[in-house]
Amino acid sequence: SQKIEQNSEALNIQEGKTATLTCNYTNYSPAYLQWYRQDPGRGPVFLLLIRENEKEKRKERLKVTFDTTLKQSLFHITASQPADSATYLCALDGYGGATNKLIFGTGTLLAVQP
Amino acid sequence: GAVVSQHPSRVICKSGTSVKIECRSLDFQATTMFWYRQFPKQSLMLMATSNEGSKATYEQGVEKDKFLINHASLTLSTLTVTSAHPEDSSFYICSARSPSGTGQYFGPGTRLTVT
């Protein structure tokens, strides 16, 4: 069956360090992979999208890599800040062959300590 | 930027009653919207795809007669939970594809509690 796993339920790091979150998937070949941020009691907010033919994407302090051979995406936040504390979700695009139909990972709760 | 709103943000209803949740795209047209459900400490689960002017497409295991979806205009989709039961208590979130085609815009969610 299709499965998306994110590295851990929670990740604690010190302010200023780089946070690295992992998204692994099986039995699936997505055309796109997306990353979202979700704060408690709120809907997810889109952060980055990376295509299957792209290795890396950057946006300000965020960097995403996509390895279709390993079936893995890494999400990095450099110079982390307490305001970056949230749950981060990866999502595969193209579930059931339909573009923009997303299947979400389990999420990683990031806590950045001041 | 593009915004998706939901109403109400919270609703409490008695078991056996029906509840309607609205999802609106505020400054763009959305021919397709998506409805998700999220239980505490779990990820979002896609329930159905709402298509303007046609029937919704439901995911496996989601009862179409229980979760009625209507997408009557390019900016409004509604989800009606019929004959609600306590196990329907959850966080319901809608989304719409961004006009640029990159990512989706999610609503703020509706917390449904069935007593």
Least CB–CB distance from B43: residue in A34, A41, A89: A89
Least CB–CB distance from B43: residue in A42, A95, A104: A104
Q: Please report residues of B whose CB lies closer than 8 A to that of A102.
A: 34, 44, 46, 104
Among A112, A105, A64, A109, smallest CA distance to A87 is for: A109
Cis peptide preceding B8, ω within 30 of 0: yes
pLDDT value of position A28: 80
Residue A27's pLDDT band, with cuts at 50, 70 and 90, is confident
pLDDT value of position A19: 96
Cβ-contact B17, B84 below 8 angstroms:
yes
Query: Residue ranges of chain B with pLDDT lower than 50?
Result: none
Domain span at residue A82 reads: 4-113
- Give me the CATH number covering residue A68: 2.60.40.10
pLDDT value of position A98: 61
Among A26, A6, A9, smallest CA distance to A104 is for: A6
The residues, ordered by sequence, that sit 6+ positions from A95 with a Cβ below 8 Å of its Cβ are A2, A101, A102, A103, B46
Least trusted range by pLDDT, from A53-57, A92-96, B71-75:
A92-96
Contact flag A101-B109 (C-beta cutoff 8 Å): no
Q: Dihedral sign for Cα A102, A109, B100, A92, please.
A: negative
Chain B residue with CA closest to A48: the answer is B103
- The tally of domains found in chain A comes to 1
The residue to which tokens 């609503």 are assigned: B107
